[in-house]
Structure 1
Amino acid sequence: MTRTVYYTATSLDGFIATPDNSLDWLLSRKTDADGPMGYDGFIAGVGALAMGATTYLWVCEHEPGWTPERPAWVFTHRDLPLLPGADLRLTAGDPAQVHADMVAAAAGRDVWIVGGGDLAGQFADRGLLDEVVVSIAPVTLGAGAPLLPRRVELAVQEVARNGELVSVRYTVERTPSPG
Protein backbone atom coordinates (compact mmCIF):
# COMPACT_ATOMS: atom_id res chain seq x y z
CA MET A 1 0.00 0.00 0.00
CA THR A 2 1.33 3.42 -0.94
CA ARG A 3 2.18 5.72 1.94
CA THR A 4 2.88 9.43 1.68
CA VAL A 5 6.02 10.12 3.71
CA TYR A 6 7.75 13.35 4.68
CA TYR A 7 11.39 12.18 4.90
CA THR A 8 13.73 14.97 5.96
CA ALA A 9 16.32 16.23 8.39
CA THR A 10 16.11 19.00 10.94
CA SER A 11 18.27 20.96 13.32
CA LEU A 12 17.65 20.35 17.00
CA ASP A 13 15.59 23.54 17.14
CA GLY A 14 13.33 22.46 14.27
CA PHE A 15 14.63 24.05 11.07
CA ILE A 16 15.23 22.23 7.77
CA ALA A 17 17.31 25.04 6.24
CA THR A 18 18.90 28.32 7.32
CA PRO A 19 17.19 31.63 6.48
CA ASP A 20 19.24 31.73 3.23
CA ASN A 21 18.26 28.10 2.40
CA SER A 22 21.68 26.65 3.21
CA LEU A 23 22.03 22.98 4.14
CA ASP A 24 25.73 23.19 5.04
CA TRP A 25 24.85 22.38 8.66
CA LEU A 26 23.43 19.04 7.47
CA LEU A 27 25.74 18.11 4.60
CA SER A 28 28.78 18.24 6.89
CA ARG A 29 27.34 15.53 9.19
CA LYS A 30 28.53 11.93 9.11
CA THR A 31 25.75 9.45 8.31
CA ASP A 32 25.46 6.04 6.72
CA ALA A 33 23.13 5.95 3.70
CA ASP A 34 22.77 2.20 4.26
CA GLY A 35 22.36 2.56 8.04
CA PRO A 36 19.23 2.74 10.18
CA MET A 37 16.58 4.87 8.47
CA GLY A 38 19.22 5.82 5.89
CA TYR A 39 18.56 7.30 2.48
CA ASP A 40 19.35 4.19 0.41
CA GLY A 41 16.81 1.99 2.18
CA PHE A 42 14.21 4.73 2.09
CA ILE A 43 14.57 5.70 -1.59
CA ALA A 44 14.35 2.06 -2.69
CA GLY A 45 10.70 2.08 -1.60
CA VAL A 46 9.78 5.40 -3.25
CA GLY A 47 7.81 5.52 -6.50
CA ALA A 48 7.02 9.26 -6.80
CA LEU A 49 8.22 12.54 -5.30
CA ALA A 50 6.76 15.92 -4.41
CA MET A 51 8.68 19.05 -3.56
CA GLY A 52 8.15 22.76 -3.27
CA ALA A 53 9.75 25.33 -5.53
CA THR A 54 12.39 26.34 -2.96
CA THR A 55 13.59 22.75 -2.61
CA TYR A 56 13.60 22.27 -6.36
CA LEU A 57 15.60 25.46 -6.95
CA TRP A 58 18.08 24.38 -4.26
CA VAL A 59 18.54 21.07 -6.12
CA CYS A 60 19.02 22.91 -9.43
CA GLU A 61 21.68 25.17 -7.90
CA HIS A 62 23.54 22.76 -5.61
CA GLU A 63 22.94 19.29 -7.07
CA PRO A 64 22.28 19.86 -10.80
CA GLY A 65 23.45 16.33 -11.61
CA TRP A 66 20.78 14.83 -9.35
CA THR A 67 17.88 13.67 -11.43
CA PRO A 68 14.99 11.94 -9.72
CA GLU A 69 14.72 8.43 -11.14
CA ARG A 70 10.96 8.49 -10.62
CA PRO A 71 8.15 10.92 -11.45
CA ALA A 72 8.41 14.15 -9.47
CA TRP A 73 5.88 16.91 -8.92
CA VAL A 74 7.13 20.43 -8.15
CA PHE A 75 4.47 22.55 -6.45
CA THR A 76 4.93 26.10 -7.71
CA HIS A 77 3.16 29.10 -9.19
CA ARG A 78 6.24 30.02 -11.25
CA ASP A 79 7.75 28.80 -14.49
CA LEU A 80 10.90 26.96 -13.47
CA PRO A 81 13.74 25.46 -15.51
CA LEU A 82 13.43 21.70 -15.87
CA LEU A 83 16.30 19.36 -15.05
CA PRO A 84 17.19 17.51 -18.26
CA GLY A 85 16.27 13.84 -18.32
CA ALA A 86 13.89 14.05 -15.35
CA ASP A 87 10.18 13.22 -15.31
CA LEU A 88 9.17 16.54 -13.72
CA ARG A 89 5.67 17.94 -13.52
CA LEU A 90 5.20 21.53 -12.46
CA THR A 91 1.88 22.06 -10.72
CA ALA A 92 0.02 24.84 -8.96
CA GLY A 93 -2.71 22.38 -8.00
CA ASP A 94 -3.94 21.65 -4.53
CA PRO A 95 -2.16 18.60 -3.06
CA ALA A 96 -5.53 16.86 -2.71
CA GLN A 97 -6.09 17.21 -6.46
CA VAL A 98 -2.61 15.98 -7.40
CA HIS A 99 -2.22 13.21 -4.81
CA ALA A 100 -4.18 10.55 -6.74
CA ASP A 101 -1.91 11.02 -9.77
CA MET A 102 1.16 10.74 -7.56
CA VAL A 103 -0.11 7.54 -5.93
CA ALA A 104 -0.90 6.06 -9.36
CA ALA A 105 2.60 6.94 -10.63
CA ALA A 106 4.16 5.42 -7.49
CA ALA A 107 2.72 2.04 -8.57
CA GLY A 108 2.41 0.60 -5.07
CA ARG A 109 5.55 2.26 -3.73
CA ASP A 110 5.64 5.33 -1.47
CA VAL A 111 5.24 9.01 -2.29
CA TRP A 112 8.08 11.10 -0.82
CA ILE A 113 7.48 14.68 0.24
CA VAL A 114 11.09 15.71 -0.40
CA GLY A 115 11.21 19.16 0.99
CA GLY A 116 9.24 22.00 2.27
CA GLY A 117 7.70 21.81 5.72
CA ASP A 118 4.78 23.87 4.51
CA LEU A 119 4.17 21.48 1.61
CA ALA A 120 4.26 18.51 4.00
CA GLY A 121 1.83 20.43 6.19
CA GLN A 122 -0.52 20.97 3.26
CA PHE A 123 -0.62 17.21 2.71
CA ALA A 124 -1.21 16.70 6.45
CA ASP A 125 -4.01 19.29 6.48
CA ARG A 126 -5.83 17.25 3.84
CA GLY A 127 -5.34 13.92 5.63
CA LEU A 128 -2.87 12.70 3.00
CA LEU A 129 0.35 12.46 5.04
CA ASP A 130 0.93 9.01 6.55
CA GLU A 131 4.43 9.22 8.05
CA VAL A 132 7.12 11.67 9.06
CA VAL A 133 10.68 10.34 9.12
CA VAL A 134 13.05 12.94 10.47
CA SER A 135 16.75 12.83 11.23
CA ILE A 136 17.77 15.30 13.92
CA ALA A 137 21.21 16.91 13.65
CA PRO A 138 23.15 18.03 16.74
CA VAL A 139 23.07 21.72 15.85
CA THR A 140 20.76 24.67 16.43
CA LEU A 141 20.17 27.27 13.73
CA GLY A 142 18.08 29.84 15.60
CA ALA A 143 15.98 30.63 12.52
CA GLY A 144 15.17 29.34 9.06
CA ALA A 145 12.64 27.15 7.28
CA PRO A 146 10.60 25.29 9.91
CA LEU A 147 10.32 21.51 9.92
CA LEU A 148 6.50 21.50 9.96
CA PRO A 149 4.89 24.91 10.52
CA ARG A 150 1.57 23.71 11.93
CA ARG A 151 0.21 21.29 14.48
CA VAL A 152 0.31 17.65 13.43
CA GLU A 153 -0.25 14.84 15.93
CA LEU A 154 2.31 12.05 15.58
CA ALA A 155 2.99 8.67 17.18
CA VAL A 156 6.56 7.39 17.52
CA GLN A 157 7.12 4.09 15.69
CA GLU A 158 10.91 3.76 15.58
CA VAL A 159 14.02 5.55 16.87
CA ALA A 160 17.59 4.89 15.70
CA ARG A 161 21.00 6.50 15.61
CA ASN A 162 22.65 6.94 12.22
CA GLY A 163 26.11 8.44 12.52
CA GLU A 164 25.76 11.90 14.07
CA LEU A 165 21.97 11.94 13.62
CA VAL A 166 19.08 10.58 15.64
CA SER A 167 16.29 9.39 13.32
CA VAL A 168 12.67 9.00 14.32
CA ARG A 169 9.82 7.47 12.29
CA TYR A 170 6.35 8.70 13.23
CA THR A 171 2.91 7.82 11.95
CA VAL A 172 0.48 10.69 11.53
CA GLU A 173 -2.52 10.37 13.80
CA ARG A 174 -5.71 11.20 11.95
CA THR A 175 -7.47 12.33 15.10
CA PRO A 176 -5.70 14.20 17.90
CA SER A 177 -4.78 12.20 20.99
CA PRO A 178 -6.78 13.07 24.12
CA GLY A 179 -5.10 14.99 26.87
Structure 2
Amino acid sequence: MGSRTFEWILSNSPDDWPYRDVPAFVVTKRHLTLPADLDITLVSGDASAIAAKARNAAKGKSVWLVGGGQTAAGFAEAGELQQLFITTIPVFLGSGVPVLPVDRALDVVLRKQRTLQSGAMECILDLQTS
Protein backbone atom coordinates (compact mmCIF):
# COMPACT_ATOMS: atom_id res chain seq x y z
CA MET A 1 0.00 0.00 0.00
CA GLY A 2 1.01 3.58 -0.36
CA SER A 3 2.26 5.52 2.64
CA ARG A 4 -0.69 7.91 2.66
CA THR A 5 -3.13 4.99 2.78
CA PHE A 6 -1.07 3.42 5.58
CA GLU A 7 -1.11 6.66 7.58
CA TRP A 8 -4.84 7.14 6.97
CA ILE A 9 -5.64 3.64 8.26
CA LEU A 10 -3.49 4.14 11.38
CA SER A 11 -5.04 7.57 12.05
CA ASN A 12 -8.64 6.48 11.53
CA SER A 13 -8.51 2.94 12.89
CA PRO A 14 -5.44 2.63 15.13
CA ASP A 15 -6.67 -0.40 17.08
CA ASP A 16 -8.19 -2.24 14.13
CA TRP A 17 -5.44 -2.88 11.56
CA PRO A 18 -7.34 -4.71 8.78
CA TYR A 19 -4.29 -6.68 7.55
CA ARG A 20 -3.27 -8.20 10.88
CA ASP A 21 -3.07 -11.75 9.51
CA VAL A 22 -1.04 -10.99 6.38
CA PRO A 23 2.34 -9.41 5.67
CA ALA A 24 2.01 -5.80 4.54
CA PHE A 25 4.40 -3.71 2.46
CA VAL A 26 4.24 0.08 2.57
CA VAL A 27 5.65 1.84 -0.48
CA THR A 28 7.46 4.98 0.68
CA LYS A 29 10.71 6.90 0.49
CA ARG A 30 10.15 8.26 4.00
CA HIS A 31 11.02 6.71 7.34
CA LEU A 32 7.73 5.82 9.03
CA THR A 33 7.15 4.59 12.56
CA LEU A 34 5.70 1.08 12.42
CA PRO A 35 3.65 -0.60 15.14
CA ALA A 36 5.87 -3.32 16.65
CA ASP A 37 3.12 -5.96 16.74
CA LEU A 38 2.35 -5.86 13.00
CA ASP A 39 4.07 -7.57 10.05
CA ILE A 40 4.79 -4.42 8.00
CA THR A 41 7.81 -3.80 5.79
CA LEU A 42 8.77 -0.44 4.25
CA VAL A 43 9.74 -0.74 0.57
CA SER A 44 10.71 1.61 -2.23
CA GLY A 45 11.99 1.41 -5.76
CA ASP A 46 10.98 -0.69 -8.73
CA ALA A 47 7.34 -1.84 -8.72
CA SER A 48 8.22 -5.21 -10.28
CA ALA A 49 10.75 -5.94 -7.53
CA ILE A 50 8.26 -4.91 -4.84
CA ALA A 51 5.58 -7.10 -6.45
CA ALA A 52 8.00 -10.05 -6.49
CA LYS A 53 8.67 -9.59 -2.75
CA ALA A 54 4.93 -9.43 -2.07
CA ARG A 55 4.23 -12.57 -4.14
CA ASN A 56 6.97 -14.40 -2.26
CA ALA A 57 5.51 -13.33 1.10
CA ALA A 58 2.02 -14.35 -0.07
CA LYS A 59 3.20 -17.94 -0.63
CA GLY A 60 0.92 -18.63 -3.57
CA LYS A 61 -2.04 -16.55 -2.42
CA SER A 62 -3.26 -13.43 -4.20
CA VAL A 63 -1.50 -10.13 -3.58
CA TRP A 64 -3.75 -7.16 -2.86
CA LEU A 65 -2.57 -3.62 -3.58
CA VAL A 66 -4.34 -1.05 -1.41
CA GLY A 67 -4.04 2.64 -2.01
CA GLY A 68 -4.63 5.53 -4.28
CA GLY A 69 -4.13 5.96 -7.98
CA GLN A 70 -0.56 7.14 -7.69
CA THR A 71 0.57 3.92 -6.00
CA ALA A 72 -1.48 1.72 -8.32
CA ALA A 73 -0.21 3.56 -11.41
CA GLY A 74 3.38 2.51 -10.78
CA PHE A 75 2.33 -1.14 -10.60
CA ALA A 76 0.07 -0.80 -13.65
CA GLU A 77 2.92 0.71 -15.68
CA ALA A 78 5.11 -2.25 -14.66
CA GLY A 79 2.43 -4.70 -15.82
CA GLU A 80 1.82 -5.90 -12.25
CA LEU A 81 -1.96 -5.26 -12.00
CA GLN A 82 -4.51 -7.75 -13.26
CA GLN A 83 -7.67 -6.39 -11.67
CA LEU A 84 -8.90 -3.16 -10.11
CA PHE A 85 -11.40 -2.86 -7.27
CA ILE A 86 -12.36 0.80 -7.29
CA THR A 87 -14.43 1.93 -4.34
CA THR A 88 -15.98 5.36 -4.58
CA ILE A 89 -17.10 6.95 -1.37
CA PRO A 90 -19.83 9.50 -2.12
CA VAL A 91 -18.27 12.62 -0.64
CA PHE A 92 -18.12 15.81 -2.64
CA LEU A 93 -14.50 16.91 -2.71
CA GLY A 94 -14.70 19.92 -4.99
CA SER A 95 -12.23 18.48 -7.48
CA GLY A 96 -11.40 15.08 -8.85
CA VAL A 97 -8.48 12.79 -8.14
CA PRO A 98 -7.11 10.61 -10.96
CA VAL A 99 -8.06 6.98 -10.38
CA LEU A 100 -5.00 5.53 -12.12
CA PRO A 101 -2.65 8.22 -13.49
CA VAL A 102 -0.61 6.16 -15.96
CA ASP A 103 1.34 7.33 -18.99
CA ARG A 104 -0.23 4.85 -21.39
CA ALA A 105 -3.76 3.77 -22.24
CA LEU A 106 -5.04 0.69 -20.43
CA ASP A 107 -7.84 -1.57 -21.62
CA VAL A 108 -10.25 -2.52 -18.84
CA VAL A 109 -13.35 -4.69 -18.73
CA LEU A 110 -16.03 -4.10 -16.07
CA ARG A 111 -16.67 -7.39 -14.23
CA LYS A 112 -18.92 -6.31 -11.38
CA GLN A 113 -20.52 -3.21 -9.93
CA ARG A 114 -22.28 -2.96 -6.58
CA THR A 115 -23.25 -0.60 -3.80
CA LEU A 116 -21.81 -1.50 -0.40
CA GLN A 117 -23.81 -1.33 2.81
CA SER A 118 -21.89 1.83 3.79
CA GLY A 119 -23.14 3.59 0.65
CA ALA A 120 -19.76 3.36 -1.09
CA MET A 121 -19.82 2.13 -4.66
CA GLU A 122 -17.45 -0.59 -5.88
CA CYS A 123 -16.46 -1.45 -9.44
CA ILE A 124 -14.33 -4.48 -10.25
CA LEU A 125 -12.40 -4.13 -13.50
CA ASP A 126 -10.03 -6.55 -15.21
CA LEU A 127 -6.96 -5.02 -16.86
CA GLN A 128 -6.23 -6.45 -20.29
CA THR A 129 -2.59 -7.04 -21.07
CA SER A 130 -1.33 -5.84 -24.42
TM-score tier (shorter): 0.7 to 0.9
What residue is the counterpart of 2:4 in the other structure? 54
Report the 3-state secondary structure (helix = DSSP H, G, I; strand = E; otherwise coil) of the residue aligned with 1:143: coil
CA 1:116–1:166 in structure 2 vs 1: closer, same or farther (change >3 Å)?
closer
Partner deviation per Cα, 1:18-60 (whole Å, 9 max, x = no partner): xxxxxxxxxxxxxxxxxxxxxxxxxxxxxxxxx1111112222
Which whole-Å CA distance do the structure 1 matches of 2:82 and 2:73 have between them? 11
Is the contact made by 2:82 and 2:126 (CA closer than 8 Å) also made in structure 1?
yes
Shift of 1:159: 2.0
Q: Answer yes or no: is 1:125 the counterpart of 2:77.
A: yes
Q: State the match for 1:157 in structure 2.
A: 111
Partner of 2:129: 174
User: 1:109 & 1:103 partners in 2: Cα distance?
Assistant: 8
Task: Provide the residue aligned with 1:136 in structure 2.
Answer: 88
Fraction of identical pairs, as percent: 31
Q: How many residues were matched structurally?
A: 125
Q: CA deviation at 1:118?
A: 0.8
C-alpha separation between the residues in 2 aligned to 1:136 and 1:129?
19
Contact 1:64 1:83 in 2 (8 A): no
**CA drift at 1:63:** 1.7
Where do residues 74-85 of structure 1 align in structure 2 (5 Å cutoff)?
74-85=26-37
Shift of the alpha carbon at 1:117? 1.1
Alpha carbons 1:53, 1:76 under 8 Å: kept: yes
Residue in structure 1 matching 2:60, options 85, 102, 108 = 108
| 2:84–2:126 Cα contact (<8 Å) kept | yes
Given the alignment, which residue of 72, 78, 95 partners 2:24? 72
Structure 2 residues without counterparts, runs of 5 or longer: none
Report deviation, 1:169.
Answer: 1.0
Distance 1:53 1:138 in 2: 23
1:27 matched residue in structure 2 = none
Q: 1:83 to 1:95 in 2, by over 3 A?
A: same
Q: Structure 1 residues 85 and 121, CA, compared in 2 at 3 Å: closer, same or farther?
A: same
| Residues 59 and 166 (structure 1), Cα distance of their counterparts in 2 relative to 1, 3 Å cut | closer
The separation in 2 between residues aligned to 1:124 and 1:88, in whole angstroms, is: 22
Where has structure 1 moved over 6 Å in runs of 4 or more? none
